[in-house]
Amino acid sequence: MKKQQPLQVAFQGAPGAFSHRAGQIFVEQHELDPETKYVPCRSFDEVFDSVLSYKCALGVIPLENTSIGSIVANFDLLFMHPVMMVGEIYIPIHHQLIGFEGTPIKSLTSVYSHPAALDQCKVFLKSLPAIKPQAYWDTSGAALHVSASKDRKSAAIASEFAAKEANLAILKRDIEDHEGNSTRFGIIVPSPEHKNTDSRKKPDPRISPLVAETSKKYPLKMSCVVELPHTPGTLANLLNGLVQSHINLTKIESRPVPDAPWHYRFFLDMVVDSKDKEHQVIEELKERTETVKLLGRYQIWEAGMS
């Protein structure tokens, strides 16, 4: 009997990235495959492509951070592509200053990291004006770059996980500006209506039970995107409808519609506590909006889960 191939999970970044860790937590929680392979991608687009081509069964994308807000590029990609969210993971983001063992911090001249990480450590960086921040495509990738450079005057800002991957030391711990810094990640799979152009490639069968499981237990979180008529009061009308239905709206994010200047799409996350309530909400959305696209139904992340 042919041995089943390991489950593959796509994430943006190099090994050791926060997205890598979020994928590991999701796989561990759902006991999917102890031999899962985590596939690093250079961009968010590549994560979506890997999932939609069935190269990877799951994709991990950051959605929002408590310090810098939403990762808007991924909201646009969720709208554009036939994927669905089957889970969310919240990761506390603790940034470490990573370099070569024994290097004095005052001797550093450059620190590499993703622009978002540099932005989350502004207070620390301002305290060391001799260090020049250098934008890099990924936090963990920055750590690997410093390791490969052998330059003891360079350091990176990344996770403790990334320090181990790069075989570097932590020169200073927890340098983020805000103690409660955290990022929410979404777990994506191809939506049921997606058809790959290569008929020989099929979705990983291990994902079907996961999709069924994550969408049957209530309460659950539902994510969707809507477009509204460009007339006064339409957003208020939508929100009033959700209030009347006693729906807990946990997020609303507006994004411009590129081919319709000054028109916006609204991304909504809400908690529904029963199947009847879910059907009621969907009918409300259809009645009060021009278009509705369901982005996912999944279990609510509970504080303390790891």
* Residue-wise pLDDT tens digits, 15-30: 999 999 999 999 999 9
Looking at residue 110, what is its pLDDT? Answer: 98
Whether 44 is a known active-site residue: answer: no
What pLDDT, in 10s, does the model give residues 124-147? 999 999 999 999 999 999 999 999
Mean pLDDT of 73-80: 96
Looking at residue 302, what is its pLDDT? Answer: 67
- CA 136, 140, 142, 148 torsion: positive or negative? negative
| pLDDT above 70: residue 5 | yes
Mean pLDDT of 82-109: 96
State how far the Cα of 128 lies from the Cα of 125, in Å rounded to an integer.
5
Sheet hosting strand 169-172, strand order edge to edge: 132-135, 110-113, 154-158, 96-99, 169-172
Whether 185 is a known active-site residue: answer: yes
* 96-172, CATH topology level: D-Maltodextrin-Binding Protein; domain 2 (3.40.190)
Looking at residue 216, what is its pLDDT? Answer: 75
Q: How confident is the model at residue 154 (pLDDT cuts 50, 70, 90)?
A: very high
Q: How confident is the model at residue 89 (pLDDT cuts 50, 70, 90)?
A: very high
- In sequence order, which ranges of 16-138 are alpha helices (DSSP H)? 18-29, 44-52, 72-80, 115-119, 122-126
Other CB atoms within a 10 A radius of the CB of residue 33 amount to 17
| pLDDT above 90: residue 210 | no
Please tell me whether the overall predicted TM-score, pTM, comes out greater than 0.85 for this model: yes
Please tell me the class of the 8-92+182-192+204-213 domain: alpha beta
Mean pLDDT of 236-260: 92
Where does CATH 3.40.190.10 sit in the chain? 8-92+182-192+204-213, 96-172
What CATH homologous superfamily does 220-299 map to? ACT domain (3.30.70.260)
The one catalytic residue in 183, 214, 267, 289 is 183
| pLDDT above 50: residue 6 | yes
Tokens of 258: 């590129």
Mean pLDDT of the chain: 92
The one catalytic residue in 26, 48, 185, 267 is 185
Give the residues across from 81 on adjacent strands: none
Name the percent of the chain lying above pLDDT 90: 80
Looking at residue 155, what is its pLDDT? Answer: 98
Per-residue exposure over 260-269, b if at least 16 CB sit within 10 Å of its own CB, e if not = eeeeebbbbb
Q: How confident is the model at residue 203 (pLDDT cuts 50, 70, 90)?
A: confident
Reported as type and span, the H/E element at residue 110 is strand 110-113
Mean pLDDT of 20-44: 95
Looking at residue 301, what is its pLDDT? Answer: 83
| pLDDT above 70: residue 255 | yes
Mean pLDDT of 118-126: 96
Where does CATH 3.30.70.260 sit in the chain? 220-299
Looking at residue 306, what is its pLDDT? Answer: 41
272 near 285, Cβ under 8 Å?
A: no
| pLDDT above 50: residue 305 | no
Mean pLDDT of 116-120: 94
Mean pLDDT of 274-279: 92
Q: What does DSSP say about strands 182-190 and 58-65: parallel, antiparallel, or unpaired? A: antiparallel
What pLDDT, in 10s, does the model give residues 180-202? 899 999 999 999 888 777 767 78
State how far the Cα of 266 lies from the Cα of 225, in Å rounded to an integer.
5
Measure Cα distances from 153 to 45, 61, 132, 133, 250 in Å.
Answer: 33, 32, 11, 12, 44
